[in-house]
């Protein structure tokens, strides 16, 4: 029971960290955790001896955190995308 709570706490902390990094002005800090998860998901299947569909399925399963972190990133970056579009519209109006 305590192990499950610790895992949930770690998952919540990682998602909160991803939200914090994604809301920074620069886009690169928010991509650190998804890239790290993707690289880690590549390491394990490449070390597997079995070269069949099991490695592909395992790779897809290990990429679930990568997809979740990217979703958090794109949701948080939506504000900056809208701000950038408004800025472009203002510049065009001034011309």
The alpha carbons of the chain give a radius of gyration, in whole angstroms, of 18
Q: Are 33 and 76 in contact (CB under 8 A)?
A: no
What is the token pair recorded at 57? 């399925």
Q: Look at residue 25 and give its three-state secondary structure.
A: coil
Question: What's residue 71's pLDDT?
Answer: 95
Question: What's residue 94's pLDDT?
Answer: 77
What are the residue ranges spanned by the domains of the chain? 2-94
Determine how many CB atoms are found less than 10 A away from the CB of residue 23: 14
- Per-residue pLDDT 10s for the chain (95 aa) are 889 999 999 999 999 999 999 998 888 999 999 999 999 988 877 777 666 677 778 888 989 999 999 999 999 988 888 888 888 888 887 77
pTM of the model as a whole: 0.80
Question: What's residue 78's pLDDT?
Answer: 87
Residues 6+ apart with CB under 8 A from 48: 54, 55, 58
Q: Are 17 and 33 in contact (CB under 8 A)?
A: yes
């Amino acid at each position: 029971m305590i192990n499950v709570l610790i895992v949930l706490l770690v998952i919540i902390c990682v998602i909160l960290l991803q939200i914090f990094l994604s809301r920074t002005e620069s886009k690169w800090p928010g991509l650190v955790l998804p890239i790290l998860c993707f690289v880690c998901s590549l390491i394990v299947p490449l070390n597997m001896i079995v070269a069949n569909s099991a490695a592909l399925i395992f790779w897809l399963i290990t990429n679930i955190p990568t997809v979740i972190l990217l979703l958090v990133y794109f949701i948080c970056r939506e504000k900056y995308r809208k701000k950038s579009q408004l800025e472009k519209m203002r510049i065009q109006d001034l011309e």
